[in-house]
Chains A and B, each alone.
Chain A
Amino acid sequence: MLELKNVVKNFDNIKAVDGLSMMIEPGGIYGLLGPNGAGKSTTIRMIMGIIQPDDGEIMLFDEPFNEKAKEKIGYLPEERGLYRRMKVLDHLVFLGEIKGIKADVARKRAMEWLERVDLKDWADKNVDALSKGMQQKVQFISTILHDPELVILDEPFTGLDPINTQFLKDIVVDMKDHGKTIILSTHLMDQVEKLCEKICLINKGKKVLEGNLSDIKLDFSRNVISLGFSGDISALENHPEVEKVRSFGQDISITIKEGADTDSILRTAIDNGKVDRFEIGEMSLHDIFIAKVKEEGSEVEDEIIKNS
């Protein structure tokens, strides 16, 4: 479906994308993950042919990029907007038409979608009469109106309320069930953990990790305990079989030594506070990312640890 071979993009002297290779098979949801500034948007813009790579090759639908390919892709950019002074339905038809579908087909589908999201009565209203949440719905509809093979969503959840977040997730799952391919790019790694089957983690323009999410989790989760805990952490930190403790408030992640006695650690926790949850071997994607980046000897910026 999509293949990137050693793609490089420089902006002035900054390497935005640095020799990135990726292979995306048809069908399923693919997570393109990484902190802000990792090069996700730049990569996507190159896939869409909006900017040209300095080096490397991008194959879309098994051929080099061509204008026709744009019609088979639905793209929701990170920076997205609508014409404010256009009627909702006219706007959707216009965006459908420039994706190569006929006006009457676009009109019919747009009405179906508007009905589905309870915006039917707004079809003849100007876009700027809509609330922000409604405009976001219209943007989603415009992205998939032409029934694309491949859908690329760049930071789709930014600025969404919980209802729209769920609505978008439903659409994504629905599309997957219909055999479409979805690329989900986001810095909110934990939010897509349950959606994606395959992921590619990138940092500073380079691939950190790629593969099936379940395999990756297995690989990384053997010596980690995830703990819901309130109490004295220092006792845990001093436990002889604990390698390291990281606290996120109530959520604590403990890295244990190879072959450690987890029961003994649980007992220490109970003796020193209250335990709500005790889980062996479930490491969050976010923790995996940081662990992996560190493993490669790169610095992890504080901001990423806190926010990513």
Chain B
Amino acid sequence: MKLLKIAKREYLQRVKRKSFLIGTILGPVLMGVMIITPALIMSRGGQRQTRLAIADMSGSIYSELNAGLVDTLADGSMMFSLTQLKVGSQNEFEALKSGLNFQVSKDLIDGYLFIPQDIVTEGKAVFYGKRVGDIKSIERVKSELSHCVISKRLSSEGMDYSVVKNLIEKVDLKTIQLQKGEEKESNFDFLYFSSFIFIMMLYMTILMWGIAVERSIIEEKNNRIIEVLLSSVKPFDLLAGKILGVGSVGLTQYAIWGVFGIALSFYGVSMGGSVAKFSAFSPVTIIFFVVYYLLGFLFYSTMFAGIGAICNTDREAQQMQTPVVMALAFTIIIPMMIIQNPDGTFSTVISMIPFFTPIVMFMRINVLMPPMWQIALSIAIMLGSIYIAGQISAKIFRVGILMYGKRPDAREILKWLRRA
């Protein structure tokens, strides 16, 4: 089978390259970094001590605030260091401000807080600071200040803060997802998060390897080997061999990630991590993931191949592939809608449109298993679409692959389709 020889070359050439290994290892690492870093930055926002000057006009808040803000940093030191400003009136404070501003600008303090005399009744205070984006510290100060003020208001009504706090404690609503009548503890954040990782992987691999097929065709046109190939194999074998070879590279990449993933989850378990988190990636999920990758890759790479056949440079191809890439990108901007209503009309219809099926249907399966007939229908639609796209692409490929120079316009391509 000459098709397999083409596929073998295409596969080995890619897998043997260093860039494949680097990309395969670096991909998830980068993705992990992208996800973890913002969370890390947010959580470690107050890693250094926040020094605040407090102008307390009410005279009774400072001591309570100071007593309340006893949070510690990771290294055990105090998170806040407060100093009280001796001010008797609003005017005095205004006079002090320029000095305080100077201290902030010289980084001697991080900010200052103005607490008016009527804070208990009016509930208003002002914070001045350079790093107003340090949400964590500011939120902490705000909540502690509120706590002081509320407890003052309550005690003036003869109530005790801690008692009231217990009385108004919120209800904790646990969500249990019912799957085939079985209970499964669900967590929206985790569901969203895991679905999103999976669809990002689907999106990136389909796009990356689909475009790899396109570029490989353009390369063969540019280095003029195409005619030698066509004198040995049928255009269809060349096209199909290419798609098969490149698609297998994607599967290899998944296999590598899979092995890493399993190793990582065992490591996670051995370190006492939550097993539940990893068990969400069930074998069924993995199987559907691979199935929809294959369907999506075949569908999109066939189209990319057609584009490659009529373009002479990567730049030309980039223009032409934009609508196709946009169709694929559409699926990664709607996961919220799908997750909120996985079996609604919108989700059902969208998941049956071949451009969106691979990612959307997979997402539905991940969130709430759709009826079996819908899954079967989506696969049938995909297979049909792949067949049609393949027919069209093969015809364009046959004619376009030997064309150098001017890129054909839509009218010419239609002519090829009729003639071939």
Chain A residues with CB under 8 Å of chain B are 45, 48, 50-51, 67, 70-71, 73, 75, 77, 79-86, 94-95, 97-100, 142
Is the pair B223, A98 in contact by a Cβ cutoff of 8 Å? no
Interface size, chain B (Cβ < 8 Å): 18
Name B230's closest neighbour in chain A (CB-CB). Answer: A50
Residues of chain A within 8 A of B225, CB atoms compared: 80-83
Decide if B381 is an interface residue (CB 8 Å cutoff): no
Do residues B228 and A80 form an inter-chain contact, with CB atoms below 8 A? Answer: yes
- Binary A-proximity of B239-271 (CB < 8 A = 1, otherwise 0): 000000000000000000000000000000000
Is residue B229 contacting chain A, with contact meaning CB distance below 8 A?
yes
CA separation between A147 and B6, bound complex, in Å?
A: 21
Q: Which B residues, 1 to 40, have Cβ-Cβ distances below 8 Å to chain A? A: 2, 5-6, 9, 13
For this complex, 9 residue pairs linking A to B, each with C-beta atoms less than 8 Å apart, are A50-B402, A67-B234, A70-B232, A70-B233, A79-B227, A83-B225, A85-B13, A95-B228, A98-B6
- Asked if A70 meets B231 with Cβ closer than 8 Å, knowing A85-B13, A86-B13, the reply is yes
In the assembled complex, the Cα of A73 lies from the Cα of B230 at a distance in Å of 12
Q: Which residue of B lies closest to A51 (CB)?
A: B402
Closest to A103 in B: B5
Q: Verify A50–B227 contact, CB threshold 8 A.
A: yes
A83 vs B225: C-alpha distance when bound (angstroms): 7
- Chain B: which residue is nearest A97 at the CB level? B5
The residue of chain B having its C-beta at the shortest distance from the C-beta of A67 within the complex is B234
Known: A77-B227, A142-B228. 5 other contacts (CB 8 A): A45-B227, A70-B232, A75-B227, A86-B13, A98-B5
* Residue contact A81 to B223, C-beta cutoff 8 Å: yes
- Cβ of B140 < 8 Å from any Cβ of A? no
Does B131 count as interface, using CB distance less than 8 angstroms? no
**Does B224 sit within 8 A of A, measured CB to CB?**
yes
Given the complex, which residues of B lie within 8 Å of A70, measured CB to CB? 231-233
Q: Which residues of B contact A48 (CB under 8 A)?
A: 230-231
User: CB-CB < 8 A to A73: which residues of B?
Assistant: 231
Residues of chain B contacted by A51 (CB below 8 angstroms): 402
Question: Is there an interface contact between B2 and A83, defined as CB atoms closer than 8 Å?
Answer: no
Task: Check B227–A80 contact: CB distance below 8 A.
Answer: yes
Contact, CB under 8 Å: A83 / B228: no
| Inter-chain contacts of B230 with A (CB < 8 A) | 48, 50
Most chain A CB inside 10 Å of its own CB: which residue of B230, B232, B233: B232
A73 to B227, CA, bound (A): 14
Closest to A98 in B: B232
**A99–chain B nearest beta-carbon distance, Å:** 5
Dominant SS among interface residues on chain A: loop
Shortest Cβ-Cβ A-B pairs, 5 listed: A81-B224, A81-B223, A77-B227, A75-B231, A98-B232
B224 near A94 with CB under 8 A, answer: no
Q: Which of B223, B231, B233, B404 contacts A77 (CB 8 A)?
A: B231
Are the CB atoms of A94 and B223 closer together than 8 Å?
A: no
- Min CB–CB distance B309 → chain A (angstroms): 14
> Can you name the residue of chain A whose Cβ is closest to the Cβ of B231?
A75
The interface residues of chain B lying within 8 Å CB-to-CB of A45 are: 227, 402
Interface pair A82/B223, CB less than 8 Å apart: yes
Is there an interface contact between A98 and B2, defined as CB atoms closer than 8 Å?
Answer: yes
Question: Are B232 and A95 neighbours in the complex by a CB distance under 8 Å?
Answer: yes
In the bound complex, residues from chain A placing their C-beta under 8 Å from that of B2 are 97-98, 100
Residues of B within 8 A of A82 (CB): 223, 225
B13 A98 Cβ-Cβ under 8 A: no
| Residues of chain B from 211 to 229 with CB closer than 8 A to chain A in the complex | 223-225, 227-229
Q: How far is the CB of B230 from chain A (nearest CB, A)?
A: 5
B260 to nearest A CB, angstroms? Answer: 27
CA of A84 to CA of B13 in the docked complex: distance in angstroms?
11
Interface-centre pick from B9, B224, B225, B231 (highest chain A CB count, 10 A):
B231
B15 to chain A, nearest CB (A): 13
Closest Cβ of chain B: how far from A183's Cβ, in Å? Answer: 13
Q: Which of B6, B13, B225, B402: most chain A Cβ within 10 A?
A: B225
Instruction: Note all chain A residues with C-beta closer than 8 A to B404.
Output: 79
How distant is the Cα of A142 from the Cα of B225 in the complex, in angstroms? Answer: 12
With contacts A50-B231, A67-B234, A70-B232 taken as known, whether A79 is within 8 angstroms of B224 at the C-beta atoms is yes
Report which residue of B230, B402, B404 has the largest number of chain A beta carbons within 10 angstroms of its beta carbon: B230
Residue contact B9 to A94, C-beta cutoff 8 Å:
yes
Neighbouring B residues of A79 by C-beta, 8 Å: 224, 227, 404
Q: Which residues of chain A are near B234, meaning CB under 8 Å?
A: 67
Closest to A146 in B: B232
Q: Which of B227, B229, B402 is close to A98, meaning CB atoms less than 8 Å apart? A: B229
Chain B residues lying within 8 Å of A81, measured Cβ to Cβ, are 223-225, 228
B415's closest neighbor in chain A, by CB? A12
Known: A51-B402, A99-B232. A94 touches B227 (CB 8 A): no
Partner of A84, one of B223, B227, B228: B223
Per the bound structure, the CA–CA distance linking A94 and B245 in Å amounts to: 14
- Given known pairs A50-B402, A51-B402, the reply for A98 and B224 (CB within 8 Å) is no
Query: What are the residues of chain A within 8 A of B232 when measuring CB–CB?
Result: 70-71, 95, 98-99
| Residues of B with C-beta under 8 A to A75 | 227-228, 231
B235's nearest neighbour on chain A, judged by CB, is A50
Question: With A and B bound together, what is the CA distance between A94 and B241 in angstroms?
Answer: 13
Give the Cβ gap from B351 to chain A, nearest Cβ, in Å.
Answer: 40
- In the assembled complex, the Cα of A95 lies from the Cα of B5 at a distance in Å of 9
Pick from A48, A75, A94 the residue with the most CB of B within 10 Å. Answer: A94
Minimum distance in angstroms from B193 CB to a CB of chain A: 39
* Complex alpha-carbon distance, A288 and B159, angstroms: 120
Write the nearest CB–CB distance from B138 to chain A, whole angstroms: 55
A84 to B223, CA, bound (A): 8
- A-facing residues in B124-164 (Cβ within 8 Å): none
Whole-angstrom distance between the alpha carbons of A294 and B412 in the complex?
Answer: 37
- Hey, which chain B residues are within 8 Å of A71, CB to CB? 232
Inside 8 A of B6's CB, which chain A residues have their CB? 98
In angstroms, how far is the closest chain A Cβ from the Cβ of B264? 33
Complex: chain B residue closest to A41, CB-CB: B227
Q: How far is the CA of A51 from the CA of B403 in the complex (A)?
A: 12
B contact residues around A98 at 8 Å (CB): 2, 5-6, 229, 232-233
Q: Which of B182-235 contact A (CB under 8 A)?
A: 223-225, 227-234
CA distance in complex: A103, B151 (Å): 86
